[in-house]
Amino acid sequence: MAVNSMTFQQSATLLNDVLEQITGKKSLAAVDESEFVSVATTLLQTGYDQLNTAVQEVIGRSIWVSRAYDPIYPSIMMDEEKWGGITRKVTTLDGEFINDQGYPLTDGTSIDPFLIQKRKNVQFNFYGGNTKEMLVTTPEEQLNTAFHSSGEFGSFMAAQAVQLQNQLKQKIEAESRIVVNNMIGAAINAGGDRVMHVLTEYKAATGNTTITAANYLSEAEFVPFAKWMYGALTTKKRFLAERSTKFHAQINTYAGVTLTKPILRHTTEQFLRIFMLSQFMDQINSSALSGIYNKDLLSIGRYESVNFWQNIDAPSSVSVTANELQADGTCAAGTPVVSDIVLGCLFDVEALGITVKAESVRSIYNPRGRYFNNWYNWIVRWFNDQTENFIVLLLD
């Protein structure tokens, strides 16, 4: 994968596509994220603009639109001190237990105290980043003639600043969706304990034979299903806290050598993050929890609501080609995933994130054209560590 080399990928096309989907300008379409999301890999690498239209002259009264926007997924923003630069993540594998040679002791024999048993370590590396830029042009003459007063000019500039900040926040939101959806796609392809098929597990646990994805919101089916769902998620959280081989990817070779021990992970409550589809949780809150007196006894704890995963017109759908960790420690594009039944995900805080490696703004004045150009540039890493715990919840 190109992003897992020592290069920086031009990601403006991908970012614009995601932005069109999340704002409803474009219908749900497949997104190929495999070239842009940096997936932890054991392979060691060796090598290393939006035009603002001219301001028209003010005639009469102007209304300045400026309302701050808050992006989703704030919890996956990572600091550069930990995740910036070329990052390596070393995981120590378990050693072997051996027999105690102190029992029994035999006359005429000796016990070797210099036996060697070296610890085995696996190093995962994150490389590269995604680059993009944005251009904001400010014409000097039009700014000079566009406003009736200094106060009006100040209001305009404030509105311009808020609008720019909102756009940059939505850029971060689009990047966050790419990171989360890549992990969702990889987990769906992996299957096993990285996917919770909630209706299947509910029917198996309760013997219910009438509930389906078409009728689960009905009055007869939803309340008992929602109560079971909360209990099942609490159980999943408890299992995630156990140190085990479950809920994450494994590799079977490292540096060409077969591994005899697996990667063990555990995710306690303080390191657990939960994203849930808001329309599903709204139904639970209004239907299942509205008649319960002590709601603290029926809770999955702290979670972040997600209005939609990829497209505002298809809230529960994802359509991605994910960058996936392979069994030999490398990464490759996986099978395209199209799913319209994603309810949520539970994951370790270190499983995914975004790091802003560099950002800058530079201004240049064109004396002939009499305008200013402000160039905004970013280098951002979108990363997945698929050896960390991650469970996706599917309504099937």
Q: Provide the 10 A C-beta neighbour count for residue 225.
A: 21
Which phi and psi angles does 269 have, rounded to 5°?
-55, -40
The CB-based long-range contact list for 112-121 (8 Å cut-off, 24+ gap) reads 119/92, 119/93, 119/95, 120/92, 120/93, 120/95, 120/259, 120/260, 120/261, 121/90, 121/91, 121/92, 121/93
Q: Taking a C-beta distance cutoff of 8 angstroms, is the pair 240, 272 a contact?
A: yes
Q: Taking a C-beta distance cutoff of 8 angstroms, is the pair 384, 40 a contact?
A: yes
Q: Taking a C-beta distance cutoff of 8 angstroms, is the pair 202, 208 a contact?
A: yes
User: DSSP character for 284?
Assistant: I
Q: Taking a C-beta distance cutoff of 8 angstroms, is the pair 298, 230 a contact?
A: yes
Instruction: Please state the separation of Cα 380 from the chain's center in Å.
Output: 14
Residue corresponding to tokens 């596509």: 17
User: DSSP character for 350?
Assistant: T
- Those residues whose C-beta lies under 8 Å from the C-beta of residue 186, and which sit 6 or more positions away, are 249, 322, 323, 324, 325, 334, 384, 386
User: What is the residue-level pLDDT of the chain in tens, covering all 396 positions?
Assistant: 445 554 555 656 666 776 777 677 788 788 776 766 666 665 544 432 222 333 323 323 344 445 566 667 777 777 665 555 546 677 777 777 667 777 777 877 887 777 767 777 777 766 666 677 777 777 776 566 556 666 666 666 667 777 777 787 788 888 889 999 999 999 999 999 999 999 999 999 999 999 999 999 998 999 899 889 989 999 999 999 999 999 999 999 988 888 888 999 999 999 999 999 999 999 888 876 655 544 555 567 789 999 999 999 999 999 999 999 999 988 899 999 999 999 999 999 999 988 877 777 788 888 888 888 888 887 777 888 999 999 999 999
Buried residues in 178-205 as b, exposed as e (16+ CB within 10 A): bbbbbbbbbbbbbeebbbbbbbeebbee
**What is the helix, strand, coil percentage profile of the chain, to 5?**
30, 25, 45
Q: Taking a C-beta distance cutoff of 8 angstroms, is the pair 39, 124 a contact?
A: no
Q: Which amino acid is it at 206?
A: T
